[in-house]
Amino acid sequence: MQVYFLGTGTSQGIPVIGSNHPVCKSDDLKDKRLRVSVWVTFNDISIVIDCGPDFRQQMLTSGCEKLDALLFTHEHADHTAGLDDIRPFFFRQKKDIPIYAHQRVLDNFKMRFDYIFETENKYPGAPGVETFEVKKNVAFKIGSSQVIPINVNHGNLQVFGYRIQDFVYLTDVKTIDTAEIEKLKGAKVLVVNALREEPHHSHFNLQEALDFIHLVKPEKAYLTHISHLLGFHEEVQKKLPPNVFLAYDNLKITI
């Protein structure tokens, strides 16, 4: 399995528009972070998790040419605003693109992207999607692989993370129940959000993310959904335990 980090930044991306913060002014490419998303491939299957406002650029940079499924964690704009840009995949693959999300998120899409769901006189240039409801405690299959939804809380909002074989992707987590943590046991690679050092009402800060990694004990962990306030990539990486890495845009790992 290959995992490609398409974006590793928090909701505004880094650099933040108009910011003079030193991290936003950094020349290090690892300090430039698009909105969070990952591209997972195994056998002949190509899955993208979340589809934020940088989706088009991410697809061009990564060279992703096929989309078998789009999985969503939740409805916030930094995870969903690029949905219209699945159009090239829809046109080339000549079929509706399967999207997987909580029913609440699918309902939200029907409101925000109503033209995609139009059943009468649909505009021919609009993309088509086939919706699949993701439910807590109900695993599903994509290709030959099982996908296990992981229920987490982003402040008061329910969010899904996903386990695909030995890979776990969790973002926008603030709290998670013990029963859900059980589903992560034995995974080789855990990706989890770490916003900054200061606490935040709906995201793990760095210490909370490290404590969580210590609890789950994956072989390796990668931090994502990073704010410029966390600091320079190079300096933060030096402070992390040996099996914990700051993810960065265009990082590719093999599991």
Residues at the contact surface with Zn ion, assessed by CB under 5 A: 78, 172
Show the tokens assigned to 150: 């992981």
Phi, then psi, of 155 in degrees rounded to 5: 65, -125
Nearer to Zn ion, 42 or 134 (CB): 134
Distance in Å, CB of 76 to Zn ion, minimum:
5
Distance in Å, CB of 144 to Zn ion, minimum:
30
Distance in Å, CB of 82 to Zn ion, minimum:
13
CA atoms of 212 and 2, how far apart (whole Å): 24
CA atoms of 52 and 54, how far apart (whole Å): 5
Distance in Å, CB of 10 to Zn ion, minimum:
7
| Residue of 103, 129, 126 lying closest to 115 (CA atoms) | 126
217, 211 contact by CB (below 8 A): no
Helix (H) or strand (E) holding 202: none
Nearer to Zn ion, 78 or 180 (CB): 78
Distance in Å, CB of 96 to Zn ion, minimum:
26
| Residue of 245, 188, 254, 174 lying closest to 216 (CA atoms) | 188
Distance in Å, CB of 171 to Zn ion, minimum:
6
Show the tokens assigned to 161: 């993370």
Nearer to Zn ion, 42 or 160 (CB): 160
Nearer to Zn ion, 42 or 212 (CB): 212
CA atoms of 171 and 182, how far apart (whole Å): 17
List Cα–Cα distances, 146 to 44, 164, 168, 243, in angstroms. 15, 6, 12, 26
Nearer to Zn ion, 75 or 172 (CB): 172
Show the tokens assigned to 222: 């990668």
Distance in Å, CB of 141 to Zn ion, minimum:
27
Nearer to Zn ion, 12 or 165 (CB): 12
Rg (CA), the chain: 18
CA 205 to chain centre: 17
Nearer to Zn ion, 11 or 42 (CB): 11
